[in-house]
């Protein structure tokens, strides 16, 4: 549970974790948005010398922009977020649903803070689990002969 006062209106918001299946759907639709866009990280520079190469991050900025805008305008993402928000409250007594933003126009100033907090609270356990597993798998991958061969072929 995340309990906080919003920065813009000072409203008290309580973000409760949604049921597992609801959160899985949120994760699925967000990953779908991410998958639709390529990161666009480019390695440039001297083909012969690895030390003289540099990274072009322009594509990364486009990736972030496209994912954020894509998620913001996606009806599937909106539905999944509001399915999670059904379990949350605004100013202690009001349920957070789309009617809240019609009935209380001032609450629109808190819209993105509420949405981001909902995503963070519901996906944090999955990200934490993924990060802990990555710390276990990464050293194993570094010792993988097959991976080393694939990486060597990519550099040729």
Tens of pLDDT along 83-142? 999 999 999 999 999 999 999 999 999 999 999 999 999 999 998 888 777 777 767 666
Tens of pLDDT along 6-63? 999 999 999 999 999 999 999 999 999 999 988 776 777 766 665 667 777 777 888 8
Q: What does the domain layout of the chain look like in residue ranges?
A: 2-155
pLDDT number for residue 143: 66
pLDDT number for residue 144: 63
pLDDT number for residue 101: 98
CB atoms within 10 A of CB 121: 19
What secondary structure does DSSP assign to the chain, as a single string?
A: -EEEE-TTT--EEEEPPPPHHHHHHHHHHHHHHHHTS----EEEE-SS-GGGEEEE-HHHHHHHHHHHHHHHH-HHHHHHHHHHHTT-EETTTEE-SHHHHHH-GGGGGGHHHHHHHHHHHHHHHHHHHHHHHHHHHHHHHHT-HHHHHHHHHHH-
Two structure tokens written together for 148: 């080393």
Are 147 and 139 contacting, i.e. CB atoms less than 8 angstroms apart? no
Tokens 């759907």 sit at which residue?
25
pLDDT number for residue 39: 78
pLDDT at residue 147 is higher than 70: no
pLDDT number for residue 149: 63
Mean pLDDT within 63-92 = 96
- Dihedral pair phi/psi, residue 42, rounded to 5°: -120, 140
pLDDT number for residue 4: 98
pLDDT number for residue 127: 87
d(CA 28, CA 75): 13
pTM, full prediction? 0.76
């Amino acid at each position: 549970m995340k309990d906080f006062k919003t920065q813009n209106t000072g409203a008290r918001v309580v973000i409760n974790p949604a049921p597992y299946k609801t959160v899985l759907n949120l994760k699925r639709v967000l990953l779908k948005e991410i998958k639709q866009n390529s990161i666009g990280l480019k390695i440039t520079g001297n083909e012969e010398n690895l030390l003289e190469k540099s990274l072009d991050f322009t594509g990364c900025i486009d990736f972030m922009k496209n994912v954020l805008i894509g998620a913001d305008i996606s009806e599937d993402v909106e539905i999944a977020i509001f399915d999670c928000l059904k379990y949350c409250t605004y100013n202690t007594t009001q349920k957070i649903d789309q009617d809240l933003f019609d009935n209380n126009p001032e609450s629109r100033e808190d819209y993105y803070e509420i949405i981001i907090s909902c995503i963070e609270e519901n996906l944090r356990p999955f990200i934490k689990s993924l990060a802990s597993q990555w710390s276990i798998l990464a050293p194993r991958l570094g010792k993988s002969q097959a991976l080393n061969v694939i990486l060597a072929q990519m550099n040729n």
